[in-house]
Amino acid sequence: MAVFRFRLAQLLRLRQAIEDMEKRELQQRITTLIQAEQALQQAQARRTAFIGDTEKEEALGVEVARLAVLRRWYPVLAEQEAISQQLAVEAEEAVDQQREQVKQAHLETRILQRLRERLLADFKVEIERQEQSELDELAACSWAREDRS
């Protein structure tokens, strides 16, 4: 009996491994994105709290030297927030790019799977055709023997 052998089986396994690797990379990038967004939220919270504290101290009439020191920290906090914002944007772009790579890897894997399914179906049809041909031949031989008898 004939056995179906998919000649591109190794390529299919390779594509499946690549797809799995791309999915793991996507998970890592999503984790990085979540961390970047959390860092951004923390930077925004620090800056907002700093502004609130500074306004309270101004209202209480804290000395000018102290306010000058506090105001020097504001650009630092704003810069930290801007950096966090940029990192979050870059992480989001990396996630989007990785999603496209996962999508492409899945498409390539799926194409090979469909090819395998189609070739297997064709193989089964051919086997059935051969079996039917053999049965027809046996039947023809059997009828020929009956006619001779």
Q: What is the pLDDT of residues 8-53, one digit of tens each?
A: 999 999 999 999 999 999 999 999 999 999 999 999 999 999 888 8
What would the mean pLDDT of 49-64 be, rounded to a whole number?
Answer: 82
110 pLDDT tier (thresholds 50, 70, 90): very high
Domain count along the chain: 1
**128 found inside a domain:** no
- Whether residue 1 lies inside any domain: the answer is no
Q: Is residue 139 part of a domain?
A: no
Name, in order, each residue with C-beta under 8 angstroms of 23's C-beta and a sequence gap of 6 or more: 102
pLDDT at 38: 97
Q: Is residue 142 part of a domain?
A: no
Task: Classify residue 28: in a domain, yes or no.
Answer: yes
Could you give the CA distance from residue 124 to residue 133 in angstroms, rounded to a whole number? 14
Indicate the SS3 state at residue 3. Answer: coil
In a domain, 69, yes or no: yes
**0.85 cut: is pTM over it?**
no
Residue type, 75: P
Is 107 a member of any domain?
Answer: yes
For residue 83, the enclosing domain spans 9-121
